[in-house]
Amino acid sequence: MQRAQRIGLTGGIGSGKSTVGHMLAQNGAALIDADQISRSLTEPQGLAMPQIEVEFGPQALTAEGALDRNFMRQLIFQDASARQRLEAIIHPLVGSLTERQALQAQACGYKVLVFDVPLLVESGRWRQQVDAVIVVDCETETQIQRVMARSGLERAAVERIIAAQATRAQRQAAADCVIYNDGVDLAALGHEVLSISAWLQL
């Protein structure tokens, strides 16, 4: 069986990365959403929850058995090592589940696999696992306005999230292709994604 082409898709919060991912899927790619897989691990009965309870105690869980994100945010703010301990639990599970989905998609005949990975540049381990990287980029102010509109977060909270992510320059340096998603409507974005799809031979 011929190996499918593996494409990493990334971008800062509010960049429109997920929209581009769904457009690529509509054009014939298999979309493997690492962020969605990661979230599923910390939902009630999620695969990561037993290890999280052992590592951080029952107070790290909500009454329903999911990860208490407010507790974890506070803990990470107070103890920088908490993030590494949490990632040491979640990242290997995300890796194995994304690979399982990739092999299933390839077995189904998909020739292009798109891995939607929000922290592709930051993690350092994804770049060698993909053949090319697509970055969705926009102005920082556009990110802030989009995230505030969709999530209700205060500006300062969004700015903290952006500050914790790779810079635009760092993402652009890692990119084989940049989609600039600022001041364009969905139709124009779709046209650009169509060009990318042709490049990927979808």
| 50-107 pLDDT per residue, tens | 999 999 999 999 999 999 988 998 898 788 899 889 989 998 999 999 999 999 999 9
Q: How far apart are CA 37 and CA 189, in angstroms?
A: 26
Range of the domain at 62: 37-109
| Same domain assignment for residues 118 and 149 | yes
Q: Two tokens at 99? A: 């690979």
Query: Which pTM value belongs to this model?
Result: 0.87
Model pLDDT for residues 173-198, shown as the tens digit of each residue: 999 999 999 999 999 999 999 999 99
| Same domain assignment for residues 25 and 115 | yes
Model pLDDT for residues 94-145, shown as the tens digit of each residue: 999 999 999 999 999 999 999 999 889 988 788 889 999 999 999 999 999 9
Report the number of distinct structural domains present in the chain: 2
Model pLDDT for residues 33-44, shown as the tens digit of each residue: 998 999 999 999
**CATH number of 197's domain:** 3.40.50.300
Amino acid present at 51: Q
| Same domain assignment for residues 24 and 123 | yes
Alpha carbon separation from 174 to 98, 129, 135, 186, 199 (Å, rounded): 21, 13, 8, 25, 18
The pLDDT score that the predictor gives to residue 1 is 61
